[in-house]
Amino acid sequence: MEVVVLPTYAEMSKAAAAIVANVLNEKPNAVLGMATGSTPLGLYQELVRMHREEGLDFAQVTTFNLDEYVGLRPNHPQSYHYFMHENFFKLVNIAPTNIYIPSGTTSNYRSFCDWYERRITECGGIDVQILGIGSDGHIAFNEPGSSLSSRTRLKTLAKPTIDDNARFFEQREDVPIYAITMGVGTILEARTLVLLANGKNKATACAAMVEGPVTSMITASALQLHPDARVFLDDSAAGELKMRDYYDWVRRKKPDAPQT
Ligand code: GLP
């Protein structure tokens, strides 16, 4: 796992966007795994800027989103469909037919989930998966106790997640209780993982993810099992890391390292 701590949210977002841009420059038809939440907004803004000012091209790109609330229609302002459309898809030249987001309103969740997994495989697998982290250490909606080999499925949200997300809804009762989410196993199959976290309220979860044991109680800790996981944190999210000095040292020394 590569841990990169940067002083500000803006720098963190730019560093993560540069990884996505590099992949697209090398593979214009790359498959991107998209995340929602407030954390990746800066990354999306930077990709949109690169598209407008530097010609970063999404014409051949395919995307798969991590998750969606059950029961929200795509035009619901809190649905992840709506979020992605407003904050990213409508701002770049991605083909609508290449966009995949789990359905929150299918009549058959099980067969939808199987189809979603199959589509990821048929499209060649995910090249770069963008991730945030919940305050309880979840990735996507893989709540504590999710199998580390889980696949796309319906999950019941944990109470802390409902509390965290209540800020986006008029009242707590409006927050959906179920979600459809890629599994931890699905996420681990992406070729590169890019996880972003900022703010003090993520510090405990980030320390558990990076330095704690691999456990289904903190599903983000599964990133320790991945051969190319890159974690971008701002200073506050890195506040509880015990090995912070070492991560900074590794970064400083990286340019001088022998080429492998
Ligand atoms: C939700 C999403 C996660 C996201 C998390 C953190 O639970 N399912 O994918 O990482 O929220 O969101 P935020 O970035 O707003 O803190």
Mean pLDDT in residue range 209-236: 98
Q: Which residues are near ligand 1 (CB < 6 Å)?
A: 35-39, 66-67, 132-134, 140-141, 161
Which is catalytic among the residues 46, 117, 136, 234? Answer: 136
Which is catalytic among the residues 81, 143, 226, 234? Answer: 143
Q: Residue of the nearest CA to atom 12 in ligand 1? A: 37
Q: Answer whether CATH 3.40.718.10 is correct for domain 2-256.
A: no
259: confidence class by pLDDT, cuts 50, 70, 90: confident
pLDDT, tens only, 110-133: 999 999 999 999 999 999 999 999
Looking at ligand 1, which atom is closest to the CA of residue 39?
14
pLDDT, tens only, 34-71: 999 999 999 999 999 999 999 999 999 999 999 999 99
How far does residue 96's CA lie from ligand 1's centre (Å)?
A: 24
203: confidence class by pLDDT, cuts 50, 70, 90: very high
What is the residue-wise DSSP string for 93-146? T--GGGEE---SS-S-HHHHHHHHHHHHHHTT--SEEEE---TTS-BTTB-TT-
What's residue 215's pLDDT? 98
What's residue 63's pLDDT? 98
Mean pLDDT in residue range 200-219: 98
Instruction: Answer yes or no: 136 catalytic.
Output: yes
Q: In the Cβ-directed half-sphere of 122, how many Cα atoms lie within 13 Å?
A: 8
Contact 241, 248 (CB under 8 A): no
Mean pLDDT in residue range 10-26: 97
d(CA 101, CA 116): 9
Contact 243, 211 (CB under 8 A): yes
* Mutate which of 135, 141, 177 for ligand 1 pocket (most atoms within 8 A of beta carbon): 141
d(CA 206, CA 131): 12
How far does residue 90's CA lie from ligand 1's centre (Å)?
A: 21
Instruction: Answer yes or no: 138 catalytic.
Output: yes
* Mutate which of 65, 138, 155, 218 for ligand 1 pocket (most atoms within 8 A of beta carbon): 138
What's residue 200's pLDDT? 97
Residue 260 has pLDDT above 80, yes or no: no
How far does residue 132's CA lie from ligand 1's centre (Å)?
A: 6
Looking at ligand 1, which atom is closest to the CA of residue 181?
8
Of the two residues 170 and 189, the one the predictor is more confident about is 189
Which is catalytic among the residues 51, 81, 138, 226? Answer: 138
